[in-house]
Amino acid sequence: MICLAVKIWRFTCLFLLFFFPLLFCQGMGELDVHNVDKVDKVPFDIPEGTITVTFSVTADMRHFTGQNRKYFRGVCERINYGGRGDFMVSPGDLTPIEKAYSTIIEYIGPDYPWYPVIGNHEINSELSMTWLREYNANGTALPNIVHTGPPGTIETTYSFDYENAHFVVLNEYYDGKSDRAVSGDITDPLYNWLETDLIQNSKPVIFIFGHEPAYPQPDKENRRTRHVTDSLNRHPEKRDRFWELCKIHGIAAYVCGHTHKYSTYRHDGVLQIDAAHARGKGDTAAKSTFLMFYIMADDTVWLYTYRLCSGYYPLYEKMQIR
């Protein structure tokens, strides 16, 4: 009986040590989810088949970049060790922008292309806007650009191609003259540019990136919300026109940030993905998150989502989105 009791005790200890934290990571609660003091070097799970494009998405790491592993550095290290893919897109709120970029360079690599998106905090910083304009000087400094933005936002609105996919980055604060003039909106000049870009596109897979959600949603786990009434839905007619254009051209997803809450939401056949935040422990209102996208040779697309839990970034969910 004593031996049996010892065995049961050992099994219980092993369960609590290895499996109990994972249960919390799957949404049953919180367990030290905001400490990032470990480095997971295990390669990411990936879809079966031939992958043509792999890219990461990180958003809203504002003020939590630099050398502290508990913040954006932890995200970058996990992406680097897991399988960084071809490039990263960040849908806004990245200030101080030069520090965000230096974190990517140091912990992922100087040869890793980064496509930043204008957020509402960038337009409030002249230093950030100047940096972003110079980063994509003349609208063509970034790799694989196919269309520069309209006058007034040639550096901060653009599209690029990679293999069998077309990617569009929108500056939703462009009013037709200035690249930092309005609240988040798809103004007429921006809409007209996007419509022309999509008509001229010949790639089968399309992604569009902007900072603000069209349809703000609660976080998938804790159901908390932010910016419920002051996102692109502030201008519902223009939002609806934009969404119809996305539907006509069969985009794979509209990827955004702004709320700091992770969600996937399909409205009228068009998928919106809110990438939450990549601040590590810097934002305790929802788990730090990053996304990995895999575009396949047959034009299908997979999304793998990683969320901070117990010091690591385990796989939270995966889904075929196209």
Which residues are bridge partners to 57 per DSSP?
89, 291
Q: Is the pLDDT of residue 248 over 70?
A: yes
Please give the residue that has the higher pLDDT: either 253 or 35.
253
- Tell me whether residue 310 is in a domain: yes
Residue 248 Cα distances to 103, 145, 256, 270, 309, angstroms: 38, 23, 20, 10, 39
Neighbours of 20 (CB within 10 A): 13
- pLDDT at 15 (0 to 100): 43
Domain extent, residue 261, equals: 32-320
- Tell me whether residue 87 is in a domain: yes
- Tell me whether residue 282 is in a domain: yes
- What are the tens digits of pLDDT across the range 116-149? 999 999 999 999 999 999 999 999 999 999 999 9
Q: Is the pLDDT of residue 224 over 80?
A: yes
Helix and strand numbers (H, E) in the chain are 7, 13
**Structurally, how many domains does the chain consist of?**
1
- What are the tens digits of pLDDT across the range 82-92? 999 999 999 99
- What are the tens digits of pLDDT across the range 42-52? 999 999 999 99
**Average pLDDT over the chain, rounded to an integer:** 90
- pLDDT at 178 (0 to 100): 95
Instruction: Note whether 219 and 262 are within 8 A (CB).
Output: yes
- Tell me whether residue 238 is in a domain: yes
- pLDDT at 182 (0 to 100): 77
The span from the CA of 26 to the CA of 163, in Å, is 34
- What are the tens digits of pLDDT across the range 255-301? 999 999 999 999 999 999 999 999 999 999 999 999 999 999 999 99
- What are the tens digits of pLDDT across the range 175-186? 999 999 878 999
- pLDDT at 36 (0 to 100): 54
Q: Is the pLDDT of residue 206 over 60?
A: yes
- pLDDT at 38 (0 to 100): 67
- Tell me whether residue 11 is in a domain: no
Q: Is the pLDDT of residue 7 over 60?
A: no
Q: Is the pLDDT of residue 222 over 50?
A: yes
What is the pLDDT averaged over residues 196-211?
98
The kind and range of the H/E element at 159 are strand 158-162
Q: pLDDT category, 2, cuts 50, 70, 90? A: very low
Q: pLDDT category, 1, cuts 50, 70, 90? A: very low
- Tell me whether residue 106 is in a domain: yes
- pLDDT at 49 (0 to 100): 98
Q: What is the CATH number of the domain that holds 116?
A: 3.60.21.10
Q: Is the pLDDT of residue 157 over 80?
A: yes
- Tell me whether residue 267 is in a domain: yes
What is the pLDDT averaged over residues 193-198?
98
- Tell me whether residue 120 is in a domain: yes
The span from the CA of 249 to the CA of 162, in Å, is 18
Alpha helices of the chain — where are they, by DSSP H? Answer: 2-18, 20-23, 72-83, 97-107, 126-135, 188-200, 236-248
Q: Is the pLDDT of residue 13 over 80?
A: no
Least confident of 21-30, 118-127, 162-171, 241-250: 21-30
- pLDDT at 28 (0 to 100): 36
Q: What is the pTM (predicted TM-score) of this model?
A: 0.90
